[in-house]
Amino acid sequence: MTKVLTDARSIRIKGRSFLAVVLSPDLPLDQWLERLDDLAARSAGFFLDRPVVLDVSELSIKKAELKQLIDDLAARKVRIMGIEGARPSQLTPEMPPAMKGGKPASDVEVTAQEPETEAEADVAATVSPAPQRQEAPQVRAIPQSLTIDEPVRSGQSIIFPEGDITIVGSVASGAEVIAGGSIHIYGTLRGRAMAGSIGNSNARIFCRRLEAELIAIDGIYKMAEDMDSSLRGHAVQLSLEGETIMADVLF
């Protein structure tokens, strides 16, 4: 006899992976904050309603300095959801929680010994009186690319940390495309494109016509006014060499 050890009062627990912006400050902090202000001023709404993780793993600061940094970011409406790389002695109960091991992850699924179809991470246990033949666990293939068959309109965000994004159309001003891999745009790029968002320095950005507000590869970014004006209006390939974004005109 099989007995299910859950009832109507059980709590459903799910795992969920979200893409967050990671800020890695450097010293001196006042100069870093000035550069952050410059980015926010030139790319309006970049941090609006966006989850942000503060990475201080390479930053040698004291508890009071960390608290002041969090307050300075809050004053700029940058909401810190977690702190990565901090020592326990640096954190206080009032600070965002410590985080570690950030990486892309699929939903957490907890299944019984005999898997049911499409179990949704309900916490349950099954007791069987006699062993039965078990099917091999199903492994869901993670897609390595995402194709959007229409333009990306202003205000839309296309986020795909698992691989490449292909846009069959244009990306409007005020829209953004964020990929863990490369970005291919078969139209005009007027908004923001951020490739290699989870630490891929080999990612590239391709577009049929460059009119971008912001481009970024592996966290290295350039604003519209920082780009060579001779590139605008052309089909380009953008890649990263060291900490420099390189551009090649395709035709």
Q: Could you give the number of structural domains in the chain? A: 2
Which of the two residues, 57 and 14, has the higher pLDDT score? 57
In this structure, the chain runs to a length of 251
Residues 230 and 149 in one domain: yes
SS3 readout for 83-107: EECCCHHHCCCCCCCEECCCCCCCC
CATH number of the domain bearing residue 234: 2.160.20.70
- What pTM value is reported for the model? 0.57
> Residue 36 belongs to a domain with what CATH number?
3.30.70.260
Nearest 5°: the CA angle 33, 37, 43 is 140
User: Does 93 lie in the same domain as 149?
Assistant: no
pLDDT, average across residues 164-184: 92
pLDDT tens string 94-124: 888 887 665 543 333 333 334 444 444 343 3
Q: Which of 99, 131, 156 is the last residue of a domain?
A: 99
Task: Note the pLDDT of residue 7.
Answer: 53
pLDDT reported for residue 9: 56
Domain annotation covers residue 57 = yes
Residue 145 has pLDDT above 50, yes or no: yes
Q: Is residue 127 part of a domain?
A: no
Range of 93's domain? 21-99
Contacts of 5 (CB under 8 A, 6+ apart): 124, 125, 126, 127
Rounded to whole angstroms, how far apart are CA atoms 83 and 67? 11
Q: Which pLDDT belongs to residue 20?
A: 73
